[in-house]
């Protein structure tokens, strides 16, 4: 709770969090109140510029871009946050096991992490989508797996440092077992570090998801997502630049907000560490 308060007291990270939450709420709520649907084709409304009736204009089939942005955000942000959550859970667990067990287990886990890191996340996503069936969002498994190694390395380093601390040595002297030490001393110490990495992981997943949609590896038409909307708008960039600029700017704003939020969490951790040292 202290860290959340520190983030909210930081005007930059607080503003980033507010903007990110506003975009998420828009994506969740607007499809229910919009007079249009993302699949509704209106040939008579093709290629309309932004107006009161269509604030973001319409595309080449007369579909309202605003509601398509809302539905696309649901897909893109869901994939980004879900893959970030999976990577955080798996990477944190791998880092705890690796750092706490040491020896052979540590060596094997870290070599696996090195192997995963050597493969680009985009390639992993395409391979998983191809092997498990294209058009069903299976690429998210590849994005999630690619995000595991950074969590594992950060958490492992923290666990190794915690393992040499005096309070862990005292717990062992009192007969505490590994499960008790992990529960009482390890988890709550590594969670803030994992939270910082999580913002970067979600931002990276959002970027990868956008690129996949741009090259045609997406959930599948007619369901929109931001990368696909950007690609469709790019084909009319000269005549109707807003069709590609709106998705591109929205993606950029989300990524910047995630990085600023991560910096806010990191600054709050540093400030808390300085207080402890004094």
* Between 33 and 221, the higher pLDDT residue: 33
Confidence class for position 274, pLDDT limits 50, 70, 90: very low
Q: Can you give the pLDDT at residue 117?
A: 92
Output 208 or 183, whichever has higher pLDDT.
208
- Lowest-pLDDT range of 15-19, 49-53, 88-92, 148-152: 49-53
When pLDDT is cut at 50, 70 and 90, the band that residue 220 belongs to is low
| Residue 278 · residue 226 · CB < 8 Å | no
Position 258 confidence tier, pLDDT thresholds 50, 70, 90 = very high
**64-75 exposure pattern, b = at least 16 Cβ within 10 A, e = fewer:** bbbbbbbbbbbb
State residue 222's pLDDT score.
67
Q: What is the structure's pLDDT at 41?
A: 86
User: From CA 131, how far away is CA 123, in angstroms rounded?
Assistant: 12
In whole angstroms, give the CA distance from residue 77 to residue 226.
9
Q: Does residue 251 or residue 4 have the better pLDDT? A: 251
Place of tokens 């990868």: 208
The residues facing 58 across adjacent strands are 64
Distance between CA atoms of residues 26 and 92, nearest Å: 31
Q: pLDDT at position 232, please?
A: 84
Q: Hey, what's the torsion of the CAs at 25, 28, 34, 36, to 10 degrees? A: 140
DSSP string, 231-250: HHHHTTTTT-THHHHHHHHH
Say whether the peptide bond before residue 222 is cis (omega within 30 degrees of 0): yes
pLDDT digits (tens, 9 = 90+) for 234-247: 878 788 888 999 99
Band of residue 84 on the pLDDT scale cut at 50, 70, 90: very high
- Predicted local confidence at residue 4, as pLDDT: 60
Residue 227 has pLDDT above 60, yes or no: yes
Q: Is the pLDDT of residue 161 over 90?
A: no
Tell me how far apart the alpha carbons of residues 79 and 129 are, in angstroms, rounded to a whole number: 13
Q: What are phi and psi of 134, to 5 degrees?
A: -80, 150
Find tokens 């539905």 and name the residue.
Answer: 71
CA distance 244 to 234: 5
What is the rounded CA–CA span in Å between residue 86 and residue 171?
31
The pTM for the full model equals 0.84
Q: For residue 267, with 0-12 CB atoms within 10 Å meaning exposed, 13-18 middle and 19 or more buried, which class applies?
A: middle
Q: What is the pLDDT of residue 273?
A: 45
64 bridge partner residues: 58
Q: Which of 145, 128, 127 is nearest to 91 (CA)?
A: 145
Rounded to the nearest 5 degrees, what angle is found at the Cα of 255, between the Cα atoms of 252 and 257? 105
Instruction: For the domain made up of 2-37+56-277, give the CATH fold.
Output: MetI-like fold (1.10.3720)
The domain ranges of the chain are 2-37+56-277
100-125 mean pLDDT: 90
Q: What b-and-e string marks burial along 102-118, b requiring 16 or more CB atoms within 10 Å of the CB?
A: eeeebeebbeebeebee
Torsion angles phi and psi, residue 238, rounded to 5: -75, -45
């Amino acid at each position: 709770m202290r860290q959340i308060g520190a983030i909210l007291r930081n005007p930059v990270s607080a503003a980033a969090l507010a903007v990110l939450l506003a975009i998420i709420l828009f994506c969740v709520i607007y499809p229910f109140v919009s007079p249009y649907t993302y699949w509704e084709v209106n040939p008579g409304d093709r290629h309309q510029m932004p107006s009161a009736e269509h604030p973001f204009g319409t595309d080449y089939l007369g579909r309202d871009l605003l509601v398509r942005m809302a539905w696309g955000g649901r897909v893109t942000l869901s994939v980004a946050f879900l893959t970030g959550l999976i990577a955080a859970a798996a990477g944190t667990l791998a880092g705890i096991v690796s750092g706490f067990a040491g020896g052979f287990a540590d060596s094997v886990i870290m070599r696996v992490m090195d192997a995963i890191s050597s493969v680009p996340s985009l390639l992993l996503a395409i391979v998983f989508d191809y092997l498990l069936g294209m058009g069903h969002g299976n690429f998210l498994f590849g994005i999630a797996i690619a995000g595991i190694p950074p969590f594992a390395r950060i958490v492992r380093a923290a666990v190794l440092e915690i393992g040499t601390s005096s309070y862990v040595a005292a717990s062992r002297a009192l007969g505490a077992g590994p499960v008790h030490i992990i529960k009482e001393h390890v988890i709550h110490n590594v969670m803030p570090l994992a939270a910082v990495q999580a913002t970067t992981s979600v931002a990276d997943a959002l970027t990868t998801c956008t690129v996949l949609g741009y090259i045609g590896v997406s959930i599948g038409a007619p369901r929109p997502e931001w990368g696909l909307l950007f690609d469709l708008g790019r084909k009319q960039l000269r005549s109707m630049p807003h069709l590609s600029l709106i998705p591109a700017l929205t993606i950029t704003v989300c990524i910047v907000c995630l990085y600023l939020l991560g910096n806010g969490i990191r600054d709050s951790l540093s400030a808390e560490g300085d207080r402890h040292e004094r």
